[in-house]
Chain A
């Protein structure tokens, strides 16, 4: 059930109440309750796929335990690890990439294989990655003989189940063992959840129809004019920003209400002054996963500069493919791989250069603007349903067509201006709440989240009323069940 829906609101209230009522009981009862609640949450979407989630959990747990046991006994465990990885990648390949692989093979080799169309199980990309990290960590001695209940809850814990953050076993399981909900967690959790809901229903969902109309027109072959292309591109850049930021806040807020902290996943990425920094602020849990379980095993930066750029490119290409079985996602990932390589090469070339203090601010502003432009340009291929549509939008940016799907009104200008002000000059929700530690710190130590100086949250009755009213306005604006963009991955 989507976080921005009435059933979820009711579910969350029941889950938090039930959890708190069990506070005085045995700790196991709370964990069993949370696991059952998480399975009910997943089954609301499709009960039959619960078998897949449970089956995958059991297989990975058994493999992880055996790997851990063999490691303790200094026995060979490579076959088990490889088998586990193949099992997980096979699962995701079967359900997510089968159509892409077979249709591409048919096209390239001119063979007529029947194209399978499996139903994509919700959250498969997320729970598969989380379990891959568990198996790899079990092999390298970073797991601690977890019980099945803790492990199953780590995989299925409902606030992160559907669209992340991609959590690590050592982020959550130690917290499960000492969970205790406190009133300050509840207060911070409902506030964070409300901020996320407002971002989703008041901002992201109101930008979506315009971005959709323009990209749909592009996919129908309408030759987009510059106004349509620029507005469509900018509106989508803002839509996905607020949509994903909203989701992350709501996930962290839901979890916090039960005293459990998820990792920071979103930290004002459009404030980044480089692509490297962007990836330390956007979908932080995915980029950290790709770094630790793909980029580093590929060799990382240990085998020379050329190899480093290649590794970056491969990592981002596969990161793009993780988003969906479409060449547009791969192209998006490839573009970011290229951006990152250029960024690292530039850093290497300018190493030791220090701009004068007077130039620092304008250079920083220019870097932020350039990073925003580069990421926004890449969003075109991410959003477009196919390469032809992406080309159409790109052509429009350069004045190719003359469509008029939307018009540039004063309202659109004011909206854009306001959005830029929010994302470049306002503190983000993590900074607003950071004094109360609503999340686990970022794995990137050079991008710490610090408490906001302005607009910081304080648990006063006045702020309670204001945030309560904001929550109601956001609920009133829920006119449609618009899913989060990241739910499809």
Chain B
């Protein structure tokens, strides 16, 4: 009898908690999707790897941005969509590895709604190679396997991720709470305390960043180059355009990269250039390449009255700068 009661209470606890969890995730998901500023939560840092594949599936965008936190912070769909008259999606995630970047691009390209994928190339630096990913990255949620075949039983994984995963719980809670803080008429830009992608770099942040990134170099390892090559191959016959760009890190930090290892930075750019050129000679779907990691109106920016107009720190640009970058890439209202 004692054991029957135990089994009953155990299963009841599990069942009720699962119901509560799934209910919360369903409600929060709907709230975020239908909130006028809902797209801005894509710039938040949290469990983005876990939930963004689900959001991509729900959003069915035409324009997708892939990359590290530079991309995650810099492209806000609520700003971009009305300006470019397009439905966009921010597929950025912190410290994206080369393998993850390739897989996210493959995922975006596999969605029929997607017409263009914009990729920041800093995700293809470092030593990471095939299969290397951060803990919450899960390929079962992506539309295709690494070899390009449809992911088996994907709808099941998307369902469990959306309703039953801790990542969804965390991201939904953070996103819903952030949106709930916005008063009527306010946008994410009005609350940089909640949406840090809209903060402005100060002297203190700049100094801290220079110290924090003092040993940082920009080097493309062999594994990263292979992943970029695989990314380009995936786009060879895809219907969506592929646009690659070197992100607009501020000149102050580019100088540090050069100080650390100038050859590595030049080698990175050269390898990318060669791979893109090779791709464009072999593939019907040409890739575009833009270099913003060079002196330009954005990267030359210094602090004005103690704060930066377009940077959150030396590598993270603000969403208005992201919109400007898209203009430089030739994206305009259709």
Residue numbers of A with Cβ under 8 A of B are: 6-7, 182-184, 186-188, 190-191, 205-206, 209, 212-213, 216-217, 220, 222, 459-461, 463-465, 467-469, 471-473, 475-481
Contacts and interface: CB of A to CB of B under 8 A. Distances in A.
- Residue of A213, A468, A469 with most partner-chain B CB within 10 A: A468
Contacts of A469: 13, 17
B140 A481 contact: yes
A183 B169 CA distance: 33
Contact of B3 (A183, A479, A481): A183
A479 B6 contact: no
Interface stretch (B72-80, B127-135, B198-206): B127-135
Contact of A190 (B7, B12, B132, B136): B7
Interface in B97-150: 127, 129, 132, 134-138, 140
B223 interface: yes
Interface stretch (B85-93, B159-167, B279-287, B311-319): B159-167
B50 A209 contact: no
Classify the interface of chain A: helix, strand, loop or mixed: helix
Given A6-B156, A183-B7, A209-B134, A464 B165 contact: no
A480 B136 contact: yes
Contacts of B21: 472, 476
B155 to A, nearest CB: 12
Interface string B205-230: 00000000000000001010000000
B166 A459 contact: no
Contact of B13 (A191, A465, A481): A465
A472 B3 contact: no
B107 to A, nearest CB: 16
B324 interface: no
A212 B132 CA distance: 9
Nearest to B159: A6
B2 interface: yes
Nearest to A479: B136
A465 B11 CA distance: 9
A187 B10 contact: yes
B156 A461 contact: no
B14 A472 contact: yes
Contact of A476 (B5, B138, B164, B223): B164
B164 A475 contact: yes
B23 to A, nearest CB: 14
A468 B165 contact: no
Contact of B6 (A212, A220, A461, A481): A461
B177 interface: no
B14 A471 contact: yes
Contacts of A476: 21, 164-166, 169
B18 A464 contact: no
Contacts of A191: 10
A480 B50 CA distance: 9
B164 A464 contact: no
B5 A459 contact: yes
A220 B3 contact: no
Contacts, number: 99
B15 to A, nearest CB: 9
Contacts of A184: 2-3
B308 to A, nearest CB: 29
10 contacts: A7-B156, A190-B11, A216-B129, A220-B223, A464-B5, A464-B8, A464-B9, A465-B9, A465-B10, A476-B166
In the A-B complex, list the 3 residue pairs whose CB atoms are closest, starting with the nearest. A468-B13, A476-B166, A464-B9
Interface residues of B, number: 36
Nearest to B16: A468
A480 B167 CA distance: 11
Given A220-B129, A220-B223, A480-B136, A472 B7 contact: no
A459 B6 contact: yes
Interface of B: 2-14, 17-18, 21, 50, 127, 129, 132, 134-138, 140, 153, 156, 160, 164-167, 169, 221, 223
B132 A216 contact: yes
A260 B161 CA distance: 33
A471 B7 CA distance: 13
A216 B99 CA distance: 14
Contacts of B11: 190, 468
Contacts of A478: 165-166
Given A209-B135, A480-B137, A468 B14 contact: yes
Nearest to B47: A479
A205 B136 CA distance: 10
A472 B136 contact: no
B166 A190 contact: no
Nearest to B160: A6
A213 B50 CA distance: 20
Nearest to B223: A220
Given A222-B127, A468-B9, 16 more contacts: A6-B156, A7-B156, A183-B4, A220-B127, A220-B223, A460-B2, A465-B9, A468-B10, A468-B17, A469-B17, A471-B10, A472-B21, A476-B21, A476-B166, A479-B165, A480-B137
A203 to B, nearest CB: 13
Nearest to B6: A459
- Residue of A209, A216, A472 with most partner-chain B CB within 10 A: A472
Given A206-B135, A476-B21, A479-B135, A461 B165 contact: no
Contact of B138 (A216, A475, A480): A480
A463 B7 CA distance: 10
A357 to B, nearest CB: 43
A465 B13 CA distance: 6
Contacts of A472: 13-14, 17-18, 21
A184 B167 CA distance: 34
- Residue of B3, B18, B221 with most partner-chain A CB within 10 A: B3
A477 B166 contact: yes
A479 B156 contact: no
Contacts of B140: 480-481
A468 B8 CA distance: 10
Nearest to B153: A7
Given A213-B132, A468-B17, A479 B166 contact: yes
A206 B166 CA distance: 14
Contacts of A206: 135
Contacts of B12: 468
Contact of A186 (B7, B18, B137, B156): B7
A186 to B, nearest CB: 5
A197 to B, nearest CB: 11
A322 B45 CA distance: 45
A437 to B, nearest CB: 13
Contact of B7 (A187, A209, A216): A187
A209 B137 CA distance: 11
Contacts of B6: 187, 459-461, 463-464
Nearest to A206: B135
Contacts of B167: 479
A467 B8 CA distance: 12
A42 to B, nearest CB: 16
